Amino acid sequence: MNDTSILILFAVLGLVVGSFLNVLIIRIPKGENIAYPSSHCVKCNNKLKWYHNIPLFSWLFLKGRCAYCHEPISWQYPLIELTTMFIFIVSFLRVENITQSVIVALIFSLLLALSLIDFRFKEVPDSLNLSALTLSVFATGDIILGFQNALLFAGAFTLLRFYISYALKKEAMGEADIMIAGTIGAMLGINLGLFAIFFSAVLALVAFMIVQKKDIEMPYIPFLAAALFIVFIFEDFFSALMERLYG
Q: Which pLDDT belongs to residue 130?
A: 95
Residues in a beta bridge with 72: 65
DSSP 176-219: HHHHHHHHHHHHHHHHHHHHHHHHHHHHHHHHHHHHTTTT----
Which pLDDT score, from 0 to 100, does residue 246 have?
72
Give the CA dihedral 172, 123, 105, 7, nearest 10 degrees: -130
Number of other residues whose CB lies within 10 A of the CB of residue 6: 14
Q: What is the DSSP string of 56-83?
A: THHHHHTTTB-TTT-PBPPTHHHHHHHH
Q: What is the pLDDT of residue 215?
A: 64
Q: Considering only CA atoms, give the Rg of the chain.
A: 19
What is d(CA 2, CA 156) in angstroms, rounded to the nearest whole number? Answer: 43
Residues 244, 245, 247: CA angle, nearest 5 degrees = 60
pLDDT value at residue 30? 84
**How far apart (Å, rounded) are the C-alpha atoms in residues 224 and 120?**
16
Q: Read off the amino acid at residue 82.
A: L
Q: How far is CA 113 from CA 6, 52, 168, 203, 229, in A?
A: 24, 22, 30, 19, 14
CA distances from 174 to 97, 112, 122, 161 (A): 34, 18, 12, 8
- The Cα 225–Cα 184 span in angstroms is 9
pLDDT of res. 244 = 82
For residue 37, is the peptide bond before it cis, meaning its omega torsion is within 30 degrees of 0?
A: yes
* Per-run averaged pLDDT (10 residues), the chain, 247 residues: 86 95 90 78 77 84 82 89 96 91 97 93 90 95 94 90 73 80 96 93 86 72 95 93 77
- Compute, in degrees rounded to 10, the torsion defined by CA atoms 206, 210, 213, 215: -80
How many C-beta atoms surround the C-beta of residue 31 within 10 A? 6
Rounded to whole angstroms, how far apart are CA atoms 155 and 241? 27
d(CA 177, CA 185): 12
